[in-house]
Structure 1
Amino acid sequence: MASSCHNAPQIQEMSGCDEEKPVIELEATITPQCGELQEPNHGVVQKNFSLISLAGIGVAVGNVWPALGGSLLTSIYNGGAPGVIYEFIAASLCYFTVAAVIAELSSALPSSSGVHLWATVTSGPRHGKVVGYFAGWWNCLAWIFAVASVTCIASNLCVQTFAFWHPSFIAKKWHTFVCYIILSWLSCVIVCFGNSMIPRLNIVGLVVIVVGAITTIVVCIAMVNTEGRSSASSHDVWGAWEADIGYPNGFVFTIGMLNGAFAMGTPDAAVHLAEEIPRPSINVPKAIATQYILGFVSALAYLITMLYCITDYEALYKAELPIAEVYSQATGHSAIATTALLALILAPTLLCTLGLYVTCGRTLWTLARVGATPFPNVLGRISPTQHMPVTATFVTTVLVSLLGLIYLANSTAFNGFVASFILFSSASYIAALLPYLWTRSRSSFEPGEFYMTGYLGYVVNIWACGYLITWFVVYCFPYALPTNAENMNYSSLIWGTFTIAVGALWYFGVRKTYVLPMSLSHDEA
C-alpha cells in the first residue's frame, strides 16, 4: 500500500536546529485515500483502532482496580483502611488534572510521540529540541519499567494461584521468572503478529475490567455476611487510621499516595496510538476521559468493598498472596469462590500486559524515527506486512527480559527499577506541562477540539504541575524508617543514572542526526 501513496513529507528549515540540514516539519503528510500515515523512509501504520478499542487499551493498561487489589497490603501499611481510601482519592484527583492537560495537548497536537512532541513544541525553538529529547526518553523508560512491573505481578499471580490449590507446593523465585519470560515473549508474539486483532482484544479488556469489577463486588457483598459472619465496621474502614512506618501521619498520607499514583499514573496510554485512529484530536481525549472515569469509579467501589471484607488483619499480614486471603475471608474460606475471584483479577492483568507491550513498542519507535536512538533506521521501521513497529516491540521485550534476570538475581534491585516508573513518567509529563503553562496564553499552535478556556485551564495546569513537581521529590524518600539496604528507595538513583546515560547519548551520539518529531496535519486530526 505504500507504493500507492505518492505524497512526500514536506521539508522546511526550522529555527533552533542545525542551519545546514533541513529537518522534517512538525506535520506528517497524510494521504486520505489510503487511510494511513506516511512516515518518511520507515513504512506506514494503519488506522485499525476505533474509539471504543482505543478506550479499551487505556482502561486495560490502567488496570486500576486489579493493580490496587494486588498491592492492597502495601497500601494498608500507609494508614490502614482509611489511608487506602483517602490516599487513592487524593492521588486520583491530582492525576485527573494531569490527564486533563494531556488531553488538551493530544487534541491540539495529536501524535504517537506524545510528550516527546509536546515538550519540543511548548519549550520553544531554543530549548525544545533537547527538552523534547529527554521527555521522550523518560517516557519510554517509564513504559519499559511499567511492562516489567505488570509482567512480574501477573507471573506472581499465576504462581501463587497454583500454590493456593496445592498447599504442599513451595513457590520459588525461579517459578515466577519462568512465567515472566513465557508471558513476555507470548505477549510480544501476539502484539507483533496479531496486530489486526489487537483492537478487538482491547475491547475484550474493557469488558473484562468492567464486568470483573462488578462481579467481584457483588460476590463479596453477597457472601461476606452469610453463615453468621459479619463484615468490618464502618469505623474500621473509614476512621481507624493506623500507620507504623516511622513517618509522621501527615507525611504517611503524602507518601501513601504513591500507591494510587502507580494505579492511575498512565494518562498517556491512548496517546501513543493517535496515528492509528481516525480523528485523534477528538477521539484521544475521549479515550483518556473514559479511562479515568471508569478506572476511578470501579477502583473506589472495589477498594471500599474489599476493606469491609477484611476481618482478620493478622492472617492478611502472614499471607503469601494477600488478595487471596481477602477473597477467602469474604467468601467464608471457599476455595472455589476464592479461585474464581482470583481469575477475575488475573485475566485483566494478563490483558494489561498485552496492552503495555503495544504502548511500549510504540514509544521506542517514535524516538527511533526521529533519530533519538541507536540504530534508528532499524528501530524506527514499520513492518511492511504487519504495519506496526515489530523491531521496536521486539527490542523492548529483550529489555524487559533482561530486567527479569535482575529480578532472579536480586529482587530488591528489580523493585528499584520498576518503582522508578513513577519518577520517569512524572519527569516526562513535567517537561511538557510546565512549559505549556508558561506559554499557555501565547502558544505557537492552535488549541484542539478539547480545550479548557480562561481561568479553568490555568488552575488545572498549575495544579497538575504543582502535584507532579512536589510528589516527584516525595517519591524519592525511603518507604519506611529506619532504612536499610532492603527497604531503601533507589528510584532517584536509577532515575539520575539513566538521565545521565541519555544525556551522554545525546552529546556523543544523536544530537547531530536527531530531527524534530511530527504531528498529524489538522485535516487528519
Structure 2
Amino acid sequence: MAKRRATVPDTHEMDDLKLDNAETTYTNSNINDSSAGVAVKREKLSVEHDDRVLTRLGKVPVLKRNFAFMSMLGFTCTVMNTWEGELQLFLQSFQNGGSAGSIYGYIIVWIGTLCVFATMGELASMAPTSGGQYHWVYMLSPRSCRKFLSYFIGWLNVIGWQAAVAGLGYLSAALVQGVAVMGNPSYQPKSWQTTLLLWASIAFAVFFNTIIISALPKVEGVILILHVLGFFAVLVPLVYLSPHRGAEQVFTEFMNIGGWQTQGLSFFIGIIASVFNFLGADGAVHMSEEIQNAAVIVPRAMVFSVLLNGALGFGILVAILFCLGDVEMALASPTGFPFMAIFEQGVGSVPGAQTMASILVILMLCGTVSVVASASRMTWSFARDRGLPGWVHIGKVGLPSPPQVVILT
C-alpha cells in the first residue's frame, strides 16, 4: 500500500485542533477517577486524542507515549541544568559585569526566557510534534517561502542539539578532571583524557536511551528529585560554613576584568553565560510524540521548568556571590572552575568540596541522558520529513525509540 506523504496543516486548522482538544479535556474531566479501570480508560482516551491530533498534523503515530508531567518536568529541568551551569560558568559573568552584573543580567535573562517559552508553549499546544520549531515555521510562514524557512530552521535545530550533546559531554568530562585536581594538585589533565571522558559520558547516555529506554520516564522523575535535593546539598553547607561578603558589594559592585571598552559592553558580554544556562527547555517539544496529553503537558513542562530552574539558579548565584572568599584565588583555581575553589575555601575541607562538586558531575551526566534523547528525537523527526541525507534509514523507528538515531547522535 502506498504511503500518503506527510503534510502540515495551515494556520486556519489550528482552531479546529484547539477545539478538539478542549472537547476531549471536557470529556475526560467528567470521568470518575475512583477506579483503576476508569484510570486506564482515561489514559487510553488521552493517547487516542494525541494520536488523532498528530494524524491531523500529517504525521503517523509510531512512538509509545510513556511520559507524563512529572517525568517531563524532570526531563526539561535536567536538560537545562540551570543552577549547575550557573556554578560552572560563574567566571564568565563575574569577570564581565561583576557581582551586580551577574545578578541583574540573570534576572533579565530569566524574564526574557520565560516570555519566549510561554510563546513556544502556545505553539506546542496547537501542534505538539517532535519537529517543533520547523513545523511551526512552516505553518506560520507565507506560502512563498515556508519550505525554505522550515528547512533552514530544521537544520539549525539539528545542528544545535547535536552541538549540545558534545558540549554537555565536554563539561561532564572537565568536571571529573576538576574534581581529580582538587584531590591531587599534582595531576595535570591531558586533552586525550578529556576526550575519553567525553565519550564515556555520551556512551552512558546512549545506554539509557537504547538498552533501558523503557525505564527513562521513571528515571527522569528520580533525576528531578536529585536535581532539587542536590541544590540544597550544595547550598546549605556553602552558606552555613563560608564567610560572607557585604550586601553592598554583592548588589552594587560592577567589574570589567575582561578589559572591554565600556562597562555596559562588559555587562552584555557576561550575560551570555546566563543565556546558556537557560537553554534546553524546548527539549520537551521534541519529546512530544512520547508524551500523554502532549498539548497540555509540553507547555506546562516548559514553563514550570523555567520557573523552577530560574529560582534555583538565582538562589545558587546569590549564594556563591556572598560566599566568594578570595576572588583572586578562586579565579586562579587549577581545576579550571572557580566554584570548586570557593567550595574548598568555604567548607574548609577538600573531601567536603569534592563531594559537593561530585553532585554536579552526577547531575551533568543525567543531563547528558536527556540531551541525547531530545537531540535524537529532533534528528529523527527531521529525517522523517526527508530533511536529512539518508532519511530513508534514519527516519525508521524501532519501538519504543529510534535507536539508530540515538547512536548517530
Give the shorter-chain TM-score range: 0.7 to 0.9
Q: Distance in 2 between matches of 1:124 and 1:349?
A: 41
Q: Shift of the alpha carbon at 1:348?
A: 1.1
Is the partner of 1:112 in helix, strand or coil? Answer: coil
Q: Shift of the alpha carbon at 1:255?
A: 2.3
Note the aligned Cα RMSD (angstroms): 2.5
Q: Distance in 2 between matches of 1:267 and 1:200?
A: 19
What pairs with 1:292-441 in structure 2 (closer than 5 Å)? 292-321=306-335, 322-332=338-348, 334-383=349-398, 386-396=399-409
Q: Shift of the alpha carbon at 1:130?
A: 1.4
Is residue 7–residue 59 contact of structure 2 (8 Å, CA) maintained in 1? Answer: no
Q: Distance in 1 between matches of 2:8 and 2:375?
A: 29
> 1:200 aligned to 2:213?
no
**Paired position in structure 2 for 1:165:** 183
- Greater fraction helix: 2
Equivalent residue for 1:235, pick from 245, 248, 255: 248
What pairs with 1:431-470 in structure 2 (closer than 5 Å)? none
Q: Distance in 1 between matches of 2:110 and 2:261?
A: 23
**Which sections of structure 1, spanning at least 5 residues, go unmatched?**
1-5, 17-25, 225-229, 397-525
Is residue 15–residue 125 contact of structure 1 (8 Å, CA) maintained in 2? Answer: no
Normalising to structure 1: TM-score of the pair?
A: 0.67
Q: Shift of the alpha carbon at 1:33?
A: 9.9
> 1:73 aligned to 2:73?
no
Residues 139-189 of structure 1: CA deviation (Å, up to 9, x unaligned): 111111111111100011112212211222211111111101111122112
Q: Distance in 2 between matches of 1:335 and 1:286?
A: 41
Q: Distance in 1 between matches of 2:286 and 2:314?
A: 27
Residues 369-401 of structure 1: CA deviation (Å, up to 9, x unaligned): 011111111111111xx42111111111xxxxx
Q: Distance in 1 between matches of 2:83 and 2:5?
A: 47
Instruction: Go from structure 1 to structure 2 and tell me whether the alpha carbon gap of 1:390 and 1:221 turns closer, same or farther (over 3 Å shift).
Output: same
Is residue 155–residue 183 contact of structure 1 (8 Å, CA) maintained in 2? Answer: yes
What pairs with 1:71-110 in structure 2 (closer than 5 Å)? 71-110=89-128
Q: Distance in 2 between matches of 1:381 and 1:208?
A: 34
**Paired position in structure 2 for 1:474:** none
Is residue 46–residue 387 contact of structure 1 (8 Å, CA) maintained in 2? Answer: yes
> 1:290 aligned to 2:307?
no
Is residue 121–residue 298 contact of structure 2 (8 Å, CA) maintained in 1? Answer: yes
**Paired position in structure 1 for 2:269:** 255
**Paired position in structure 2 for 1:153:** 171
Q: Shift of the alpha carbon at 1:347?
A: 1.5
Q: Shift of the alpha carbon at 1:15?
A: 10
Is residue 155–residue 176 contact of structure 1 (8 Å, CA) maintained in 2? Answer: yes
Instruction: Go from structure 1 to structure 2 and tell me whether the alpha carbon gap of 1:363 and 1:14 turns closer, same or farther (over 3 Å shift).
Output: closer
- Opposite residue 229 of structure 2, the aligned amino acid is V
Is residue 175–residue 361 contact of structure 2 (8 Å, CA) maintained in 1? Answer: yes
Is residue 183–residue 351 contact of structure 2 (8 Å, CA) maintained in 1? Answer: no
Q: Distance in 2 between matches of 1:328 and 1:15?
A: 57
Q: Shift of the alpha carbon at 1:264?
A: 0.6
Q: Distance in 1 between matches of 2:143 and 2:164?
A: 32
Residues 330-381 of structure 1: CA deviation (Å, up to 9, x unaligned): 212x112101111221111110000000000011000000111111111111
Is residue 46–residue 292 contact of structure 2 (8 Å, CA) maintained in 1? Answer: no
**Paired position in structure 1 for 2:146:** 128
Q: Distance in 1 between matches of 2:87 and 2:59?
A: 45
Instruction: Go from structure 1 to structure 2 and tell me whether the alpha carbon gap of 1:94 and 1:312 turns closer, same or farther (over 3 Å shift).
Output: same
Is the partner of 1:243 in helix, strand or coil? Answer: coil
Instruction: Go from structure 1 to structure 2 and tell me whether the alpha carbon gap of 1:143 and 1:13 turns closer, same or farther (over 3 Å shift).
Output: closer
Instruction: Go from structure 1 to structure 2 and tell me whether the alpha carbon gap of 1:248 and 1:134 turns closer, same or farther (over 3 Å shift).
Output: same
> 1:142 aligned to 2:160?
yes
Equivalent residue for 1:281, pick from 295, 299, 323: 295
Is residue 112–residue 363 contact of structure 1 (8 Å, CA) maintained in 2? Answer: yes
> 1:221 aligned to 2:239?
yes
Q: Distance in 2 between matches of 1:371 and 1:266?
A: 24
- Opposite residue 172 of structure 1, the aligned amino acid is K
Instruction: Go from structure 1 to structure 2 and tell me whether the alpha carbon gap of 1:71 and 1:167 turns closer, same or farther (over 3 Å shift).
Output: same
Q: Shift of the alpha carbon at 1:82?
A: 1.2
Is residue 309–residue 330 contact of structure 1 (8 Å, CA) maintained in 2? Answer: yes
Percent of pairs with identical residues: 24
> 1:264 aligned to 2:278?
yes
> 1:210 aligned to 2:228?
yes
Q: Distance in 2 between matches of 1:93 and 1:41?
A: 34
Equivalent residue for 2:130, pick from 112, 115, 120: 112
Q: Distance in 1 between matches of 2:126 and 2:59?
A: 26
Instruction: Go from structure 1 to structure 2 and tell me whether the alpha carbon gap of 1:238 and 1:43 turns closer, same or farther (over 3 Å shift).
Output: closer
Q: Shift of the alpha carbon at 1:42?
A: 8.5
Q: Which runs of 4+ in 1 moved over 3 A?
A: 8-16, 31-43
Q: Shift of the alpha carbon at 1:11?
A: 6.0
Instruction: Go from structure 1 to structure 2 and tell me whether the alpha carbon gap of 1:42 and 1:274 turns closer, same or farther (over 3 Å shift).
Output: closer
